[in-house]
Copies of this chain bind each other. A is one copy, B any other.
Amino acid sequence: MKILKPSPEIKARHLQSLEIFSDLDKTEILMLSEKASMRFWDKSEFLFRRDEAAEKLEILVEGTATVYSILNDGSQKVIHIVSPVTTVGEAACFLGRPFPANCQMTTDGATLCIPRNSLLEFSQQYPDISWKLIGGLYSRLREFKNTVENHSNKSAVSRLATYIIGEARHGKEFILPAKKNQVANFLGLRPESFSRAISQLSSDGAVEFDGNIVTVIDIHRLESFLFPE
């Protein structure tokens, strides 16, 4: 991991695209970005580990990362697949709690890093930041709710279908945000089952898989898989 200090403008552009800072105007964003350093990560480095103190806020701006826990049988469970531009572990950072899970890069990438102190200063000056934080937490909560619901959708195919529909919301095509391996884990499936679910969906003409590129061919057919039986 290397730390660099590129121009504030570059950093500001990333910060601007974050919902949580959307109430700050340009000069304020620039002030904040003064405090931010940019970090470049190699694949499989840890952004943070479980139980570490959350002394800074990392904002993923390039590459992908996964957030995962280690279960009691030693296996790992992918909780979240992170794509840019997103804050990671922001709640723990604001609250000063230790991180509840691990976060590891799955590709090379880069983050913006803001020290917790600067963050708290800013949120005191701009109380709306904490409302944005609440909003963000709330969406994350709803995501988790969806995950739980999806996991209790027993059929592997329907789990995959709901996932695809969710990801493809903005367009007919998207790129799997991680190795199929990881996506399978995120969906609570073994790689083999995931693979079979894929071939079922694509042999049915609902979607097309080309490597990590997923194309929705027939949305109605895809939706029909949501109803088991």
Contacts and interface: CB of A to CB of B under 8 A. Distances in A.
Contacts of A130: 130-131, 134
Contacts of A153: 71-73
A144 interface: yes
28 contacts: A69-B149, A71-B152, A72-B227, A73-B153, A73-B227, A73-B229, A77-B149, A77-B152, A79-B149, A94-B134, A95-B134, A95-B138, A97-B138, A100-B142, A127-B127, A130-B130, A133-B134, A134-B134, A137-B141, A140-B141, A141-B141, A144-B144, A144-B145, A144-B147, A148-B148, A148-B151, A151-B152, A151-B188
Interface of A: 69, 71-73, 77, 79, 91-92, 94-95, 97, 100-101, 127, 130-131, 133-135, 137-138, 140-142, 144-145, 147-149, 151-153, 188, 226-229
